Amino acid sequence: MPSPKAIVLITGANQGIGFATAQQLASTSNFHVLVGARSALKAQAAVKELESVAVNKSALTPITIDVTDDASIAAAAKSVSDEFGRLDILINNAGIAQAPDTNGTLREQYRQIFDVNVFGVAVVMDAFLPLLRASTYPDRRIVNVTSGQGLISRAGKKGHPSNAKAYFIPDYRSSKSAVNMITAAYSVNLEDEKIAVIAAAPGYCRTSLTDGKGAKEATDGAKVIVRAASEGDPGELSGKYIADESWSFGW
């Protein structure tokens, strides 16, 4: 039976900022949250934990989706299609800050990061676009989680506390720059269909992605993503970069 709530899929929702985003959306009565994780076990465990804060426990569904595996992505899209027939909001949250195999070649390190952060975003968007197009929800959105590290203007700004001299991580930074371009390109392409595409930068949060380092908690970073997914005028926000400091920045 179709859900009367907005159907939201969050990739990488079993931990960190993705989990905190799921918590905040599930704590309202407005959303049915699809909790995406690389394995069924992780997705189910996250749902069980989220049930303690959810307004409605039945408005949580575990989804197995490995963003580096095209077959897994296709299977996830089919699962959502079979159960709901649509998707209203997509949050591309899954990401890594460094290659899992740090002993690999430089090419391999870049490939691993881009496989999750860039190729994963692109393929997930492509797989779920038919379901977003099938939705009659008046506020359809795609939120791509990015980082201030991906801003080219910031990387080269002398004296900036997070410029490329302070944080020389060109593999990660360039992957998020690519996410920003994907966001900008799709926002133009989907404008006539009224599907907003927004980049959200949660900031430097203390999660496993940052080895527990950061300026704020994951719950604070998740607020930025929730804003991008559910607040403001989608027409005005589409193609924009949203962070703590304001609604939008230059790239």
Q: State the catalytic residues.
A: 172, 176
Q: At 59, list the tokens.
A: 């408005």
Please tell me the distance from the alpha carbon of residue 81 to that of residue 75, in angstroms, as a whole number.
Answer: 10
Say how far apart CA 181 and CA 8 lie, in whole Å: 23
CA-derived radius of gyration, the chain: 17
Query: Could you give the C-alpha distances from 29 to 84, 154, 222, 224, in angstroms and in order?
Result: 18, 38, 18, 19
Q: Are 32 and 47 spatial neighbours (Cβ–Cβ below 8 Å)? A: no
Type of residue found at 203? G
Q: Are 203 and 244 in contact (CB under 8 A)?
A: yes
Q: Among all chains, which residue has been given the structure tokens 């676009």? A: 129
Nearest-angstrom CA–CA distance, 1 and 24? 25
53: which 2 tokens?
A: 């804060």
Counting Cβ atoms within 10 Å, is residue 162 exposed (0-12), middle (13-18) or buried (19+)?
Answer: middle
> What's the angle, vertex CA 206, arms to CA 247 and CA 121, rounded to 5?
60
CA–chain centroid gap for 166, Å, is: 26
